[in-house]
Amino acid sequence: MTKEERQAKLEQLRSKMQSAAQANRKDVIEEHQRAKTTARDIARLEKQRRLAETLREKADAEETGADLERKKNWEYTIEENEVWEKRKVQKERRADFHFHNDAHQSRKRYKKDLGDLKPDLEAYNRQRELALGLEPGSLDSKKGSSQALVPVASGSGSALQAAASEDLYRDANSLVYADNKPSEEAIDRVVSKLNKDIDNRNKFSRQRLNEDEGDITYINERNRQFNKKIGRFYDKYTSEIRASFERGTAL
């Protein structure tokens, strides 16, 4: 093959590569759009289904004369109702933005931090199981507290249980101090919480109206607007007099 033929062949291969890349990119974009459309359609159909069920329940309740709200409340368990009441109380408490006293503000801050830094209940329950001499999984928080507590048979594990109990339930006579080593996940949670607080403090800026206007010469917003209107006409005449009064050189 001559040099011109090789050059033409190379240009032909480059053209094919470019066409294939454009076709692949087009297929990827179309597939992404189809996926987005599918997810959007699924959400829309689910919303329509829930609305249809709600309308059907209302129609059935009107025909039978039943109380729809009472019927829905019967479907909730005691645990779900307790969770709902607790959330409602928390919502009302968090909606109180007024400053009462330092103790109230500190407790409010503590509750907010406690909600952000969720404790590891699984690890705590494992420590309790070992300290109380229970079978592993007896205090599983996911299974609930209704599970029967099965104690471990006494024997070689009694010394280990006593040590675990003394370590977990320390009293005033305990000489053990500052031996707890948190996990890497717990450290990461605290560090992320501190970084979040720093970012929020840096982003927070209390709005101070008219702080760049110099001296405050008004008693309310209406008086401020009036003074601005007067200043547009008379400041050019009174600025020197005001400056002389401030310097103490006025006659």
- Looking at residue 144, its pLDDT comes to 52
Q: Which residues in the chain land under pLDDT 50?
A: 145-148, 150, 153-156
- Looking at residue 153, its pLDDT comes to 47
- Looking at residue 208, its pLDDT comes to 55
41-81 confidence digits (pLDDT tens): 778 888 888 888 888 888 887 777 777 777 777 777 888 88
- Looking at residue 250, its pLDDT comes to 56
3-state per-residue secondary structure call for the chain = CCHHHHHHHHHHHHHHHHHHHHHHHHHHHHHHHHHHHHHHHHHHHHHHHHHHHHHHHHHHHHHHCCCHHHHHHHCCCHHHHHHHHHHHHHHHHHCCCCCCCHHHHHHHHHHHHHHHCCCCHHHHHHHHHHHHCECCCCCCCCCCCCCCCCECCCCCHHHHHHHHHHHHCCCCCCCCCCCCCCCHHHHHHHHHHHHHHHHHHHHCCCCCCCCCCCCCCCCCHHHHHHHHHHHHHHHHHHHHHHHHHHHCCCC
- Looking at residue 147, its pLDDT comes to 47
